[in-house]
Amino acid sequence: MGLFFLVIWFLIFAAIAVILGIVSVIVVYPFLGKYRRKRILLLTFLTPPVGIASYVGCSIIAMIIFSELLNIDLGFGDTWKAPLPNNYQLVSIDMPENGSIYKDTDYSTEVDQVQQLEVIGDSVIGLSGNKYFLLDTKVNKITYYSSIRELQKKIADTKIALISNDDYYWAVKEKPYVIGGVICLFFTLSLLFFMWKKGLSFQWNHKIAEFFS
């Protein structure tokens, strides 16, 4: 997802926020009396934009933090990245289904055209082009096999269960993204609660009046 798509998504979220704000005002208006009606309508209109903006902003910050801590990609852009044992990493550019395995310390390519993989202890097995490979990350040794049966014989104590690069990327990100989503939801709800509490308080109203007086 490049910069163009990020701008498109920003415009979509902004439009949705404004539309939801207007719809909320239309729905709430018939049920309001004259007491503090203007403030309630203003807060009602602001709730969707503030909620969406705070959740998206918090999510971006969370993805940046997780990217640095866990050595994964940001979640947007044209690069996919996920850690492998012993400072190796799986990296894809433009298309997640075509990846390469790098040594994180010197960024040298160990295996390219990776389409499927599985992590077994310190070893990474997978499909590279039309060949299967076994990468022992502990001793930096790569062995290729012409068929999955040959590879299975090499690791007879474990049944091979290869997954696509895309599934591996998301498997690595799933837990931190869930944690980040919960944190951002709590932050957003807290911010909206604070906005409504302050917006409806007389003290806040007096401060605004003093500011414009």
Annotate 77-133 with DSSP letters as a single string: SSEEEEEETTTEEEEEES-TTSEEEEETTTTEEEEEEEEEEEEETTEEEEEETTEEE
Q: Is the pTM of this model over 0.85?
A: no
Could you state, in order of their start, the residue ranges of all structural domains in the chain? 3-72+172-212, 79-170
Whole-number pLDDT of residue 198: 86
pLDDT tens-place string over residues 112-170: 999 999 999 999 999 998 999 999 999 889 999 999 999 999 887 889 999 999 999 99
pLDDT tens-place string over residues 49-61: 999 999 999 999 9
Whole-number pLDDT of residue 183: 96
C-alpha distances out from residue 47 to 28, 41, 141, Å? 13, 10, 56
pLDDT tens-place string over residues 3-36: 566 778 788 888 999 999 999 999 998 888 777 7
CB 58 within 8 A of CB 183: yes
Whole-number pLDDT of residue 10: 81
Residue 212 has pLDDT above 80, yes or no: no
* Averaged pLDDT, 96-109: 81
C-alpha to C-alpha distance for 166 and 181, rounded to whole angstroms: 20
Mean pLDDT lowest for which of 29-33, 79-83, 84-88?
Answer: 29-33
Which of 68-72, 103-107, 198-202 is the most confident on average?
68-72
Whole-number pLDDT of residue 57: 92
Q: Of 3.30.70, 1.10.760, 2.40.10, 3.40.50, which CATH number belongs to 79-170?
A: 2.40.10
pLDDT tens-place string over residues 169-209: 999 999 999 999 999 999 999 999 999 988 887 555 555 55
Task: Indicate the pLDDT class of residue 76, thresholds 50, 70 and 90.
Answer: confident
Rg of the chain in Å (alpha carbons)? 25
